[in-house]
Amino acid sequence: MSNRRDFFRYTLVAAAGAALTGCVQNNDKAIPQSSNPASVKGRPVVIATWNNLIATETAMKKLTEGGSALDAAEAGARIPEADPNDVSVGYGGLPDRDGNVTLDACVMDDKGNSGAVCFLKNIKHPVSVARKVMENTPHNMICGSGALEFALSQGFIEEDLLTEGSRKAWQEWLKEKKYQPVINIERHDTIGILAMDKDGRLSGACTTSGLSYKMSGRIGDSPIIGAGLFVDNEIGAACATGLGELVTQTLGSFLIVELMRMGYSPQAACEEAVNRIIRRAEAAGVTDYQAGFLALDKNGEHGAFSVVQGFNYALYQNNKNIVLEAGHKL
């Protein structure tokens, strides 16, 4: 582990809430340029949802050791996957309503290659299986028993991913079996991680155990290219966390990259993605939810924004590894 003195916790309260807003004109159309006060230029850079400082540190270490952006994103994503105390990802992730931990993950690299797995059981590192799907199959996504079979063929080993803690939490939930397909905003840590090397090559990864106590077979946004993650090496990258149904219906990460292609700043693009989520939620009558986005452009400038307060993220850039609080709309 690298120098922990590099770690300092720096919170910008409602950073983008205080963001500077502005527009540039393009063919008589105003292009939103709100900026995130914490956003600076600089490569290499790694950014990850939630306070995943060890993940950003691990990813940056990979980059400085000469690893690719994809190696970095994968290495970072594996940190919460292996952490039994992270109840939204990998080992220790809260199970579905039947007590099964089912995992979704994807990766995307600088060339536009992608791989994903979903509804994968008993494999601790779905992000690495997603990478194998990308590298060793002609497919983009493999799910369920097919994904497990594929993982085993690639040398992964089956493990019970339910910890004592997550089993107890599930048994507690069983007493009432209250099915609430809305994210518990106090308890979600899905990691979306974006890494860019010093030469501007971008990659990303996203991995989750999804909504706790979800219906068996439910898939969220996280393994879906364009929803939980999108990378376009010409423009930038984006990733998401939060209520996957809404993120998927608005294709948030793809939307953000396309808005940046049109000239939106990374911050303005995240804010617009959140606006779309809110409109969709209103139309669907969904309340009490969270969704948050991160965006990175080719200069290393970033954006971060969420629906409600409480979304933070880790940023490793210019030799500092810090946690920042994202701005929010509601």
Tell me the catalytic residues: 190
Alpha carbon distance 239, 295 (integer Å): 7
| Binding flag, residue 201, ligand SD4 (CB under 6 A) | no
- Of 190 and 253, the one with the shorter C-beta distance to ligand SD4 is 190
In the set 96, 197, 221, 271, which binds ligand SD4 (CB under 6 A)? 221
Ranges within 45-104 binding ligand SD4 (CB under 6 A): 88
In the set 80, 90, 92, 220, which binds ligand SD4 (CB under 6 A)? 220
In the set 189, 272, 297, 301, which binds ligand SD4 (CB under 6 A)? 189
Ranges within 226-245 binding ligand SD4 (CB under 6 A): 241-244
| Binding flag, residue 211, ligand SD4 (CB under 6 A) | yes
Contacts of 164 (CB under 8 A, 6+ apart): none
In the set 36, 102, 222, 250, which binds ligand SD4 (CB under 6 A)? 222
Beta carbon of residue 246, minimum distance to ligand SD4 (angstroms, whole number): 9
Cα angle at 124 between 289 and 109, to 5 degrees? 75
- Of 306 and 321, the one with the shorter C-beta distance to ligand SD4 is 306
Structure token digits, residue 269: 């693009």
| Binding flag, residue 210, ligand SD4 (CB under 6 A) | yes
Fill in the amino acid letter for 143.
C
Beta carbon of residue 243, minimum distance to ligand SD4 (angstroms, whole number): 6
Name all contacts of 198-202 with Cβ < 8 Å and 24+ positions apart. Answer: 198/43, 198/44, 198/63, 199/43, 200/43, 200/233, 200/298, 201/68, 201/69, 201/110, 201/233, 202/69, 202/110, 202/231, 202/233, 202/236, 202/237, 202/296, 202/298
